[in-house]
């Protein structure tokens, strides 16, 4: 019987952390993960829990109660050591990840960080997070070494990375949609690219706020953080765009989970629908978790919900010069926990689909 990887999830009470715990509990190559929370982290709720939910392998835990809360322990470095943890997943706030990673690396752990702490290489993009690093020199070094964990684009560096910065949910839906056409130099960057993106409420996190109250969300729809959302920097860096070439507008959908991005761009020459299809299909040849829809057919949030797929479809304007791309994914899976597992699979040389089907 082969060795099974020892993992831990810090922040196992948030939506992404619960989903990750659930995936790791069923992954054929990992032991049951050590579930941890920081001292200050509030418990997931006060109501009754279904008995031994996680152990029973609930395939869905929409409200986060199915997390076998009693088995979540307080975080300490010694707990990690004691359990022989090799890979640590951080489903923690940005500042906490920024604080813990240097020590984790120095202790020889490999990490997949689901926060925004280590995704950005450029200082002007990082500024929005306002990180205060205790040891700026180490932080700078780690920032440089961290690998942006988008497996479809960065598989090679992910394989050997010590620190993988798992992408933002919105960013994943936008970058995957745009990467092929930009790589093929088919886009007129200077006429501007727009992503009008819409996310379900779990993307806003589990903290109850006026904004996530059922009565505020139901029957409603709104845009937010126009020209100021933190995922913008990731998208610019990964696609080598500058801020005058791209607009990102997030919206809050009255659904629990799922992202749909409607992306607008101008092509730098007149093309056919087939050329676009070929470009996308060629780029994602052999990529297990991207599905390209036939020309003029579009994905919907239902299709990728509860899966690790990023679905995309395109409509070309009759003039052959303007393109609308629609890309969909589940913000808790391909947009967070699923992608984290996909990164782990690459880091340990396993099949990219292991534990995600």
Please give the residues from 221 up to 250 whose contact with a copy of itself meets the rule CB under 8 A: 221-224, 226-227, 243-244, 247, 249
Place of tokens 């995600």: 356
User: Does residue 262 touch a copy of itself according to CB under 8 A?
Assistant: yes
Question: Between residues 163 and 328, which has the closer beta carbon with respect to a copy of itself?
Answer: 328
Where in 54-73 is the site for a copy of itself (CB under 8 A)?
56-66
Supply the residues annotated as catalytic: 169
Where in 191-220 is the site for a copy of itself (CB under 8 A)?
191-192, 194, 196, 198, 201-202, 206, 208-220
> In the sheet where 246-252 sits, what is the strand order?
222-223, 246-252, 193-199, 259-266, 322-329, 310-316, 290-292
Where in 284-313 is the site for a copy of itself (CB under 8 A)?
291-294, 296-303, 305-307, 309, 311, 313
Other CB atoms within a 10 A radius of the CB of residue 103 amount to 13
- Separation of first and last alpha carbons in the chain: 22
Where in 142-181 is the site for a copy of itself (CB under 8 A)?
none
- In 72-121, the DSSP E strands lie at 73-74, 87-90, 110-113
* Least Å from the CB of residue 191 to a copy of itself: 6
* Least Å from the CB of residue 147 to a copy of itself: 28
Place of tokens 């997931």: 44
* Least Å from the CB of residue 242 to a copy of itself: 11
Q: DSSP labels for 335-346?
A: IIIHHHHHHHHH
Other CB atoms within a 10 A radius of the CB of residue 60 amount to 9
* Least Å from the CB of residue 357 to a copy of itself: 5
Number of residues that bind a copy of itself (CB under 8 A): 90
Q: Hey, is 10 helix, strand or coil?
A: strand
Question: Between residues 171 and 328, which has the closer beta carbon with respect to a copy of itself?
Answer: 328
Question: Between residues 144 and 210, which has the closer beta carbon with respect to a copy of itself?
Answer: 210
Total number of residues shown for the chain: 357
């Amino acid at each position: 019987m082969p060795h099974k990887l020892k993992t831990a999830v810090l922040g196992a009470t948030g939506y992404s952390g619960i989903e990750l715990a659930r995936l790791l509990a069923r992954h054929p190559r990992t032991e049951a993960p050590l579930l941890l929370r920081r001292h200050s982290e509030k418990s997931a709720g006060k109501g009754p829990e279904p008995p031994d939910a996680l152990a029973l392998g609930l395939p869905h835990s929409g409200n986060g109660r199915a997390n076998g809360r009693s088995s979540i322990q307080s975080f300490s470095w010694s707990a990690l050591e004691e359990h022989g943890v090799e890979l640590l997943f951080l489903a923690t706030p940005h500042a906490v990840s920024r604080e813990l990673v240097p020590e984790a690396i120095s202790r020889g752990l490999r990490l997949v960080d689901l926060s925004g702490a280590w995704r950005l290489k450029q200082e002007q993009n990082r500024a929005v997070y306002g990180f205060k690093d205790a040891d700026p020199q180490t932080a700078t070094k780690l920032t440089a070494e961290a690998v942006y964990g988008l497996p479809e684009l960065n598989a090679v560096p992910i394989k050997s990375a010590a620190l993988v910065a798992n992408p933002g949910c919105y960013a994943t839906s936008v970058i995957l949609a745009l990467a092929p056409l930009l790589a093929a130099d088919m886009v007129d960057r200077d006429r501007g690219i727009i992503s009008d993106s819409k996310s379900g409420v779990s993307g806003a996190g589990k903290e109850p706020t006026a904004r996530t109250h059922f009565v505020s969300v139901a029957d409603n729809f709104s845009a937010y953080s126009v020209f100021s959302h933190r995922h913008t920097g990731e998208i610019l860096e990964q696609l080598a765009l500058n801020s005058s070439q791209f607009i990102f507008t997030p919206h809050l959908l009255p659904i629990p989970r799922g992202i749909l991005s409607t992306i607008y761009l101008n092509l730098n020459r007149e093309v056919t629908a087939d050329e676009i299809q070929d470009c996308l299909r060629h780029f994602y040849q052999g990529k297990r978790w991207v599905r390209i829809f036939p020309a003029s057919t579009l994905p919907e949030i239902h299709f990728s919900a509860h899966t690790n797929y990023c679905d995309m479809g395109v409509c070309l304007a009759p003039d052959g010069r303007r393109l609308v791309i629609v890309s969909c994914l589940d913000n808790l899976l391909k947009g967070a926990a699923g992608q984290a597992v996909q990164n782990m699979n690459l880091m340990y040389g396993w099949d990219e689909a292991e534990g995600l089907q």
